[in-house]
Amino acid sequence: MAGAQEKWYFTKDQLQNSPSRKCGLDADKELAYRQQAANLIQDMGQRLQVSQLCINTAIVYMHRFYAFHSFTQFHRNAIAAAALFLAAKVEEQPRKLEYVIKVAHVCLHRGEGVNALTSEQYQEQAQDLVFNENVLLQTLGFDVAIDHPHTHVVRTCHLVKAPKDLAQTSYFMASNSLHLTTMCLQYRPTVVACFCIHLASKWSNWQIPQSHEGRHWFSYVDRTVTTDLLEKLTAEFLHIFDKCPSRLKKKMMTMSNTTRRIRRTRGRSIHRSTGRRSTPWPTAMRSRNHSTKTPSTTTRWLCASYHPASTTTENRLQSLQRET
Query: What b-and-e string marks burial along 37-66, b requiring 16 or more CB atoms within 10 Å of the CB?
Result: bbbbbbbbbbebebebbbbbbbbbbbbbbb
312: which DSSP letter?
Answer: H
In whole angstroms, give the CA distance from residue 42 to residue 59.
8
Whether residue 167 has pLDDT greater than 70: yes
Whether residue 258 has pLDDT greater than 90: no
Query: What is the residue-averaged pLDDT of the chain?
Result: 80
In whole angstroms, give the CA distance from residue 53 to residue 274.
29
| Band of residue 270 on the pLDDT scale cut at 50, 70, 90 | very low
Q: What tens digit of pLDDT does each residue of 272-324 get?
A: 333 444 444 444 444 344 344 444 444 444 444 444 433 444 454 455 545 54
**Average pLDDT for residues 248-258, to the nearest whole number?**
55
298: Cβ contacts below 8 Å, ≥ 6 apart: 89, 90, 92, 94
Which of 107-121, 199-213, 266-280 is the least confident region?
A: 266-280
Which pLDDT score is estimated for 212?
Answer: 83
Nearest Cα neighbor of 271 from 216, 204, 212 is 204
Task: Determine the 3-state secondary structure of 293 from DSSP.
Answer: coil
Taken in order of first residue, the domains within the chain and their CATH numbers are 12-140 (1.10.472.10), 149-284 (1.10.472.10)
191: Cβ contacts below 8 Å, ≥ 6 apart: 222, 224, 225, 229
Q: What tens digit of pLDDT does each residue of 4-16 get?
A: 567 899 999 999 9
